[in-house]
């Protein structure tokens, strides 16, 4: 296990400045990544917890737990890295087109 787990993981998360609406819009514009509540697979999986896994949780409780309105989680799969980047670039560019400064991602 030590040899297999010696590098970096493939789970990333980031915050969209456009909040909840930006998260939903991004989810509606990914093509390669699969929307999923589970983030363990060989395929690239993506989720917007505020509108998916934590949708029934009251906003105040969700925020207290660190699940913000614009949080996006991605589990990177084994697809070609250029395809993954292109898919994410495309979905983020749709956000930038809608609200120039409000919906760009921050890490």
DSSP codes joined into one string, 60-107: HHHHHTT--TTEEEEE--SS-HHHHHHHHHHHHHHHHHHSTTTS-EE-
Distances (CA, A) of 33 to 2, 12, 41, 83, 101: 29, 13, 11, 10, 25
- Per residue in 57-85, pLDDT (tens digit) is 999 999 999 999 999 999 999 999 999 99
- The residue segments making up the domain with residue 89 are 11-106
Q: What is the DSSP letter of 42?
A: S
Predicted pLDDT of residue 107: 45
Predicted pLDDT of residue 44: 94
Q: Is residue 71 situated within a structural domain?
A: yes
Q: Residue 42 is part of a domain; what is its CATH number?
A: 3.90.1150.10
Indicate the pTM of the whole model: 0.81
Q: Is residue 1 situated within a structural domain?
A: no
Distances (CA, A) of 22 to 8, 34, 65: 28, 17, 20
Q: Is residue 5 situated within a structural domain?
A: no
Q: Is residue 4 situated within a structural domain?
A: no
């Amino acid at each position: 296990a030590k040899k297999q787990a010696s590098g970096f993981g493939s789970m990333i998360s980031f915050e969209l400045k456009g909040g909840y609406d930006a998260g939903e819009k991004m989810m509606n514009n990914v093509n390669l990544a699969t929307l999923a509540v589970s983030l363990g697979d060989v395929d690239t999986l993506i989720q917007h917890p505020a509108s998916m896994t934590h949708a029934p949780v009251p906003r105040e409780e969700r925020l207290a737990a660190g699940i913000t309105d614009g949080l996006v989680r991605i589990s990177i799969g084994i697809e070609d890295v250029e395809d993954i980047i292109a898919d994410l670039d495309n979905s983020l560019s749709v956000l930038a087109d809608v609200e120039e400064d409000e919906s760009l991602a921050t890490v």
